[in-house]
Amino acid sequence: MRSGFVYAIAYILLAPFIGGFLEGVDRKISARMQRRVGPPLLQPFYDVIKLFNKETISVDSSQTFLLLTYFVLMLVTGVMFFSGSDILMCFFVLSTAATFLYFAGVITSSPYSSIGAQRELIQMMAYEPAVLLTCVGFYLAAGSFNVNEIASTGTSYIFRLPGFFAAFVFILTIKMRKSPFDTSTSHHMHQELVKGITTEMGSKNLALFQITEWYENVFLMGVICLFVVNGTMTGFVASVIVFLLVYFLEILIDNCSARMKWQDMLMITWIVTFFTAGVNLVILMVIK
Amino acid sequence: MDSFTIPFLIIFPFIAAVFSYFTRINKLRNGFAYVSSVVIMAATGILLAQWCASGAGVRELYFETHLADRAILVLEIILAVYITVLCFRYKKYWISLLSLGPTGLIVWFEFFGPGINEGARIRVDHLSVLMCLIIGIIGSLIIVYAVGYMHGYHHHHRQFRDRRYYFFTLLFVFLGAMYGFVLSDNLLWIDFFWELTSVCSFLLIGYTHEPVAISNSFRALWMNLLGGTALAIGIVYLAYYSGSVSLHRLVVLGSAKMSYAVIPIALIAFAALTKAAQMPFSTWLIGAMVAPTPSSALLHSATMVKAGIYILFRLSPAMARTTTGNMISFIGGFTFLITSFMAIAQSDGKKVLAFSTISNLGLMVACAGMGRSETIWAGIFLMLFHAISKSLLFQDVGATENSLHSRDIEDMHGLLYILPRLAFFMFIGIAGMFLAPFGMLISKWSALKASVNEGNIIMVFFICLGSATTSFYWTKWMGKIISASHLKETAFRDITKKNELISLSIHAVLMIALCLLFPLLSHVYVNPLIEEMFGTYKDVLPTQILLTLVVIIGLVFAVPLLAFLYSRKMRKTYVLSYMNGVNAGNNMKFIDSFGEEKTLWMSNFYLHKWIGQRKLMGPGQFFAAAVLVVMMSMIIGGVRI
Amino acid sequence: MADITRSPWLLHYDGSSCNGCDIEVLACLTPVYDAERLGVMNTGDPMQADIFLITGGINSQNQATVKQLYDQMPNPKVVVAVGVCACSGGIFKECYNILGGADTTVPVDIYVPGCAARPQAIIDGIIEAVKLFQKKSDDYKAMVKEKKRKG
């Protein structure tokens, strides 16, 4: 219980730094893949500091409040996860947080932001089954939804849950807003939906959104680690290696694929979910 | 326990109905409707109090009631004759067979069948008291709402004959039938009240006498009568083999895996599927939307469809791990998924509510079919939350339609700024349907866990996919309500009547109270209910989950509030939204390529080309019907899997 | 005062340019010149931009749009006119529909001449703009503080 508390505090304090640093690495590696020099490693922090120093502008008075709620609920998700409570509950709170992001997108009624928000909703529908199935996978393997119990059973579940792992990595591309599934927002310029769901977010609102993304990414990486950790030091090291590899894979996918239509995204995600997590689930449940 | 309350609860609505029928002065009847609904609510409260005072256990009452038995038989015959007359008048001859057949069977059985041990007619336990509370509170509130709504309805729809006396008669008969249904233990009584609800819903749907209303009402009639036929056959079969017509006894026999209980249980469960509008019988509920809103609210939230769910919950201990149980849970899960797809493709507010009702009922049916204590726990909460929030939403959409002259979700763009009160109620209702921490979520959690424990892979898939699609259509509706709107300046007058508002407010309060108190409710009421049903009881909610839940409940209420207060204090500069720099002075209009102003319209995604009702309903019905036919044949033929 | 020079985000608007300068602006972001190493991003969204980069002259049709985009950008903000057309109207200056350079509509801070402006010149212009951006930001902060003090 006490260690859970420590982890939760560590998450609150460190996650933005880890998340921001990971994004810096991401941008640097992406630049190198494109044979550019790329921005400095700390670039994401410079960006956020600058955003905080600008005039607070807004299109709709309620947008800040919705984004703040999104931020806090994301924080709660992470805290619940790292303090070792129920993983299914974590994802339920996460989806509630995402709902608030959707509200922040549509409340302005601005065309680009609304289209981005609608696509965000489609994305949620696309990844939700895989997320829930991942939780079910953990439950089948560890006999509990409890993160603490899953993490400390002495086995790395990745060997029993390879299908679930694959499905989760697949939807991670959606969650981290990486190409080819960056349909709701774009990190790149000159696209058909400008900045998607973030179009109407300027200065502090955007900074808040950015920090929330970092928290979310760290939480997602935590879930990736959960597939590997087994309570030992080796497990811990292995999990860090796995998560770095997964992160690198996401960057690679981002840099060598073009955006997809949302229809295709939905279909492909569900099909992949079925053939990875689904097959794994059937095997686990039948052979058990 | 006082023996007066229960007959009063069953008979009083009928008296009220008769009075409504003969009172043609609107004011007098309205006043009477208020008084009656208060009386019904109070009587339900008294029932609860008396039952608690007598130890809150199982009570069996009325063992010798030959007079009432005969009366019910006579009424059932009258009902069958009435249906036959109507069928002949509208030239739907074959439907009358579905009424005459089972009634004939029951009558034949009563006169020429073997002597049976009739047992207790009335059985009061946790489940029936809970149902009484739902019917009493939600049902009465709907009547209060109906007084105001029907006034406006006939004001706006002058083409329909004002037959409010008839409408209120039907509403009261419906309530009486529901009380009778949930309190009876004798299957012959249950059969009578069952037929009565079928007929009432048929008449309510056909209230306007429009051609579409009539054809929809006959669809509802034949589907429900088909269920009634199965029920009657099941009852007679049971009586022949076991010499008893007690529902409770049937469940005991079924749980003991007696072979002659299998077929009656399967038949009754089949009947429940028709009543709960499961695939392939979902279309009657969609068609029921043509009726005035109070009747849709009554049919969908508190009464009609819940009758099917109630009977399935009753049977669930006997269905656990049987072919029947598998069939029921499969049909339920399938309905949950496929109708939630169809709900995405709808933009008519009432249609979305209809599809989501079927979808949620599907989840409850699946929970009942699995027949585990966790799933019943989840099912009970699903039922509670669904009853309140659906009733709230139906009434709200009805009131919105009166003020906005449309019930299309696209027209509700920015409802929050046009009709703030109604939008607020709508928001609470929708939140109750899917958002954390409202109980739907925890029920889903529990259902998912139980399906994994049960090894029911198909159910796991149904729930995972279904919850994704469910949140899609609710979220997009909620987003529509809060979007900034170009209609802001257009004046819409909120013409919601005071009595409608009273009903809506009480619903909203109930919704929030239920959300805050449901850990307590689970402990005090639902856990004993499960224990009563299954004999044993395992805590469904571990303490840690409960703790997490309390934290989430607190947070979800506190966070937006604090965030709102904080963000209100912030200094902000307001700018125009981004439309490539061609906004025409505000966020609602832009300059097009001809240099003219155009109003901006934002529309939701509906995906109807992929998953519309036309695409999915036919194949879905075919598939579900095939599954039903095959599995029913297997059960009746005695094949075990 | 916070150092905000490391993250200049651009909003690139093409007035009535011949597209020569636009191509050079985009060339700045290609691997050869890689303006991102200076933290430069082309956002395409005025709400998120710090530097307003205008190419081409202003005509009577796009004047309102340029004005609006400028107004949508949060303070502090810097305007850079890229290419001779944006500076003064260039060879189109005498056209019936051209009002002149960007400074006819919005206050221009930095002028980058050239036809077309070379990427090196554009990057140099951005760097100059960033210095001004820092100064404006400091002024802005001081102003806000002053306002707060006065209540």
Tens-place pLDDT, residues B181-205: 999 888 888 999 999 999 999 999 9
Residues 225-284 of A with CB under 8 A from C: none
Helices (H), B570-612: 608-611
Task: Assess B436–A contact: CB distance below 8 Å, yes or no.
Answer: yes
Domain that residue B326 falls in: 320-530+603-641
Task: Assess B576–C contact: CB distance below 8 Å, yes or no.
Answer: yes
In a domain, B420, yes or no: yes
Distance, in Å, from the CA atom of C8 to the CA atom of B133, rounded to the nearest integer, reads: 64
Q: Which of B578, B579, B586, B601 to mutate to test the interface with A (most CBs of A within 10 A)?
A: B578
Q: Is the pLDDT of residue B438 over 70?
A: no
Q: What is the pLDDT of residues A73-122, one digit of tens each?
A: 899 899 989 988 888 888 888 988 999 999 998 888 888 888 899 999 99
| Contacts of residue B594, Cβ cutoff 8 Å, sequence gap at least 6 | none
Return the structure tokens found at A250: 């996401």
The burial of C122, by beta-carbon neighbours within 10 Å (0-12 exposed, 13-18 middle, 19 or more buried), is given as buried
In a domain, B473, yes or no: yes
Task: Assess A56–C contact: CB distance below 8 Å, yes or no.
Answer: yes
Task: Say whether B482 and A106 touch across the interface (CB within 8 A).
Answer: yes
Domain ranges of chain A: 2-282
In a domain, B640, yes or no: yes
Q: What is the pLDDT of residues B203-221, one digit of tens each?
A: 999 888 888 999 999 999 9
In a domain, B554, yes or no: no
Q: Which residue numbers in chain A have pLDDT < 50?
A: none
The model's pTM: 0.92
Number of Cβ pairs closer than 8 Å across A and C?
Answer: 89
Residue of C34, C39, C74 lying closest to A57 (CB–CB): C74
The total domain count for chain C is: 1
In a domain, B24, yes or no: no
| Contacts of residue B331, Cβ cutoff 8 Å, sequence gap at least 6 | B273, B278, B279, B362, B365, B369, B624, B627, B628
Q: What is the pLDDT of residue A1?
A: 55
In a domain, B409, yes or no: yes
The total domain count for chain B is: 1
Q: What is the pLDDT of residues B261-271, one digit of tens each?
A: 888 999 999 99
Which residue pairs, CB below 8 angstroms and at least 24 apart, start in B209-218? B209/B160, B209/B161, B210/B160, B210/B290, B212/B290, B213/B290, B213/B291, B214/B90, B215/B287, B216/B284, B216/B287, B216/B288, B216/B290, B217/B287, B218/B90, B218/B92, B218/B95
Mean pLDDT, residues B435-444 taken together: 71
In a domain, B237, yes or no: no
Average pLDDT, chain C: 89
Q: What is the pLDDT of residue A257?
A: 87
Q: How confident is the model at residue B1 (pLDDT cuts 50, 70, 90)?
A: low
Residue of C39, C47, C74 lying closest to A39 (CB–CB): C39
Task: Say whether B581 and C72 touch across the interface (CB within 8 A).
Answer: yes
> Residues A101-130, buried b or exposed e (16+ Cβ, 10 A)?
bbbbbbbbbbbbbbbbbbbbbbbbbbbbbb
Distance, in Å, from the CA atom of C93 to the CA atom of B62, rounded to the nearest integer, reads: 101
Return the structure tokens found at B28: 């007098």
Q: Residue C144's domain is classified under what CATH number?
A: 3.40.50.12280
Chain C hits for B581, CB-CB cut-off 8 Å, are: 13, 46, 64-66, 68-69, 72
Q: What is the pLDDT of residues B527-568, one digit of tens each?
A: 888 888 887 777 666 766 777 777 777 777 777 788 778 777
Q: Is the pLDDT of residue B641 over 60?
A: no
Angle at B613 between CA B608 and CA B615, to 5 degrees: 75
Residue of A64, A73, A95 lying closest to B471 (CB–CB): A95
Q: What is the pLDDT of residues B271-309, one digit of tens each?
A: 999 999 898 898 988 888 888 888 888 888 777 888 899
Mean pLDDT, residues B126-151 taken together: 90
Q: Is the pLDDT of residue B632 over 90?
A: no
Helices (H), chain A: 2-33, 43-52, 63-82, 87-106, 111-142, 147-151, 162-175, 203-226, 233-255, 262-273, 279-287
Query: Which residue do the tokens 């009477």 mark?
Result: B32
Task: Assess C45–B contact: CB distance below 8 Å, yes or no.
Answer: yes
Across A162-176, B53-67, B419-433, C109-123, least confident range: B53-67
In a domain, C97, yes or no: yes
Distance, in Å, from the CA atom of B626 to the CA atom of B632, rounded to the nearest integer, reads: 10
Domain that residue C87 falls in: 9-150
Residue of B452, B555, B559 lying closest to A140 (CB–CB): B452
Q: What is the pLDDT of residues C7-47, one digit of tens each?
A: 889 999 998 889 999 999 989 988 889 888 888 888 888 88
Helices (H), B54-92: 66-89
In a domain, B545, yes or no: no
